Structure formats: structure tokens, C-alpha cells
């Protein structure tokens, strides 16, 4: 992953105190539309205190983002990044990449070789960031992975997710050449706006993308990358 300079005034700090944990929980709740149950302070405190990755992203002294990951099997070599969020007024400034770079460096310093996480396959900007910018590899399609979620982002929708794996010391996985692409699955450019404007159309996209991807994966193809116009690019194993 190419080095990304931390913007002036931006800092990343561990969540060492109860006050910091409560502030981080509130920030993540704001990002996810007011759901304080997504990362409750008591769970966040337990994860931080037991040595997992739990940090706040600061602009000066104001916390504007947070990220939480915990060790996964095999515990000595893997982590799962559970949640990362940046407040709306600080989004689209490259701070997500700054957080991921920090998480990578933190993990490598502890001999962790892989980080996994999930993302909503309908969110094109996240697919672009995970598969094109970071060069992660998609490993699973998870149907309704979390079940119903009562937050401002996921409420009323099924929680399909794509699991990705980031090999921290390996070169980024390249976007496949056109000759290797067997099929593609398009996604909406802005599912967030579509959900606000037409829940019916958004739900139809969920089923369409799920059915197409699950069918391709069952046929032995794998998600090899993402293209902003064509969507997910399927290749042979």
C-alpha cells in the first residue's frame, strides 16, 4: 500500500480512557445514523483494554472518526476489522485511507499478516476503495450476514456483505485484465441516495446483485476486482 501523508492537524490515538471510549462510540453512532448499539462503550472499552486495535481519529482535539479491530483465528497472525467510520463533515478527504494505513502499521508491528473485514456490496465507493485502492481480495459473499440492523444506514434492508482479506506484506491484488474477465455484476453508483429516494428500487438492487454474484460464485468464478462502470469483475479461479 502506498504511503499516505497524514493531513496537518490530523492525529490517530489509542482509546485509553473511559471518556475517549464514550466519545468514539458516539462518533460511530453518528456515522451510522444514530445507532448507539453498533459499538457500545462497554464493549469498546473491553476490546481496547484487552489489547485489540481501538483508535480515535482527531482533527485537533475533536474526535472525527474511529476504528476498531480484534484479533482473529489464528490469533497470532490475523485481525478482523469490525468497524471504521469518519464523521460526514470529514469524509471524502482521504482519512479512511489514513486510518487503514495506521491499522496496517499497527498490525505489522504485532506480526499480524492479514486483516479481514466486510462491506456492503451495493456501496460502490467502498468496493472501489477496498478492491482497487487497497487491493484486497474478496473471499466470501455473505447473505444477510448480520440479520436485521436498526441503524440509519441499514434499517429496513438485508445485510449482505462481501468479506475481504488484506495481505499486509503482499503487493495489492491487481484489477484483472479485460481478457481474464468472464462476467461482471453492475451496482448502482450511489445506493445511499437511492435508499432515501426509493426503498423499493434499492431493495430490487439488493436481490439482483445477490442473485448474480451468488450464481457466478457457485459456478466456480471468483470476484477478481471492481470497475467503476462495470461493477464486480468475475474471473476463473
Q: Distance between CA 101 and CA 35 in Å, rounded?
A: 27
Tell me if residue 133 falls in helix, strand or coil: helix
Confidence of residue 150 (pLDDT cuts 50, 70, 90): low
pLDDT at 46: 96
Of the listed ranges 46-50, 103-107, 154-158, 209-213, the least confidently predicted one is 154-158
Segment 107-145, tens digit of pLDDT: 999 999 999 999 999 999 999 999 999 999 999 999 988
* Grid cell listed for 169: 506484506
Say how far apart CA 21 and CA 46 lie, in whole Å.
Answer: 10
Q: What are the E-state strand segments in 27-156?
A: 53-59, 62-72, 78-86, 114-119, 137-142
Residues 6 or more apart in contact with residue 184 via CB below 8 angstroms: 227, 230, 231, 232, 233, 234
Higher pLDDT, 58 or 37: 58
Cell numbers at 191, concatenated: 445506493
Q: Which of 70-74, 81-85, 186-190, 199-203 has the least mean pLDDT?
A: 70-74
Residue 187 has pLDDT above 60, yes or no: yes
Average pLDDT over residues 30-59: 90
Q: Give the contacts of 107 (CB within 8 A, at least 6 positions apart).
A: 53, 69, 79, 115, 168
Amino acid at each position: 500500500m502506498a504511503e499516505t501523508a497524514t493531513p496537518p492537524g490530523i492525529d490517530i490515538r489509542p482509546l485509553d480512557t473511559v471518556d475517549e471510549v464514550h466519545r468514539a462510540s458516539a462518533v460511530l453512532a453518528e456515522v451510522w445514523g444514530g445507532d448507539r448499539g453498533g459499538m457500545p462503550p462497554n464493549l469498546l472499552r473491553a476490546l481496547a483494554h484487552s489489547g485489540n486495535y481501538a483508535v480515535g481519529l482527531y482533527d485537533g482535539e475533536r474526535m472525527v472518526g474511529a476504528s476498531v479491530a480484534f484479533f482473529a483465528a489464528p490469533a497470532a497472525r490475523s485481525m478482523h476489522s469490525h468497524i471504521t467510520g469518519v464523521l460526514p463533515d470529514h469524509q471524502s478527504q482521504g482519512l479512511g485511507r489514513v486510518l487503514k494505513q495506521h491499522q496496517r502499521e499497527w498490525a505489522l508491528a504485532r506480526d499480524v499478516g492479514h486483516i479481514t473485514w466486510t462491506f456492503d456490496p451495493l456501496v460502490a465507493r467502498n468496493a472501489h476503495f477496498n478492491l482497487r485502492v487497497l487491493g484486497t481480495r474478496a473471499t466470501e459473499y455473505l447473505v444477510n450476514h448480520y440479520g436485521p440492523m436498526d441503524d440509519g444506514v441499514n434499517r429496513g434492508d438485508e445485510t449482505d456483505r462481501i468479506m475481504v482479506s488484506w495481505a499486509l506484506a503482499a503487493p495489492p491484488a491487481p484489477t484483472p485484465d479485460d481478457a481474464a474477465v468472464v462476467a461482471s455484476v453492475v451496482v448502482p453508483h450511489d445506493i445511499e441516495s437511492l435508499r432515501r429516494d426509493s426503498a423499493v428500487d434499492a431493495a430490487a438492487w439488493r436481490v439482483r446483485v445477490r442473485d448474480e454474484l451468488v450464481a457466478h460464485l457457485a459456478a466456480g468464478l471468483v470476484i477478481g476486482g471492481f470497475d467503476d462502470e462495470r461493477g464486480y469483475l468475475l474471473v476463473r479461479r
